[in-house]
Amino acid sequence: MSPPRCSCSARRLHRLVAGAVLALFSCGLANRPPSDSAQGRPLPREAAVRRVIDGDTIELADGQLVRYLGVDTPEVRRRAGRRWVVDPEPFGQAATHANRRLVEGKTVRLEYDVQTHDAYGRLLAYVYVGDEMVNAKLLAEGYAQPLTIPPNVRYAERFRALAEEARRARRGLWGP
């Protein structure tokens, strides 16, 4: 004997209750600060920089890696089998030095967009020292190119304009 089927009105009520529960759950999440779902801890809003990995990646004092949102700089390392070797692309070291000048040993403020982590577990953030956004500064100085990956598009237009201006002025990567 099969279980009795729900009437149409019972199904509608079930959908309505499920939708209400989902809405309440979503509102509760929206009012909480973002958290690191893997660790169940709040995402850092401010942190000291332990070291600069390359032109668009830093390590925080707690060991977490932060990949700058919206920008891409030339690489300084590449994978060779199971290990990494130093093999800088043109301007890779210059971009790393520029990033080091801007953030190393300083306390940074982190602003998140839609996604807070990449596939490698790194935090994804717009990084500030004081009121200056490091991501934008690297673009303006010509050490980075815009790299917009939806849904993290908050500053995409601003970043494109900064890169275009650096290109026209022949700064950094775009110089003689």
- Where do the structural domains in the chain lie, given as residue ranges? 43-174
Which CATH code, of 3.40.30.10, 3.10.20.30, 3.90.1150.10, 2.40.50.90, is assigned to 43-174?
2.40.50.90
pLDDT value of residue 1: 53
52, 129 contact by CB (below 8 A): no
What residues are annotated to the active site?
Answer: 67, 75, 122
> CB count, 10 Å around CB of 156?
16
* pTM for this model (two decimals): 0.76
Cα–Cα distance list, 112 to 35, 154, 160 (Å) = 11, 10, 19
- pLDDT, one tens digit per residue, over 10-63 is 444 444 434 433 333 333 333 334 445 555 678 999 999 999 999 999 999 999
Categorize the per-residue pLDDT at 174 as very low, low, confident or very high, splitting at 50, 70 and 90: confident
At a CB cut-off of 8 Å and minimum separation 6, what does 42 contact?
33, 34, 35, 36
- pLDDT, one tens digit per residue, over 94-150 is 999 999 999 999 999 999 999 999 999 999 999 999 999 999 999 999 999 999 999
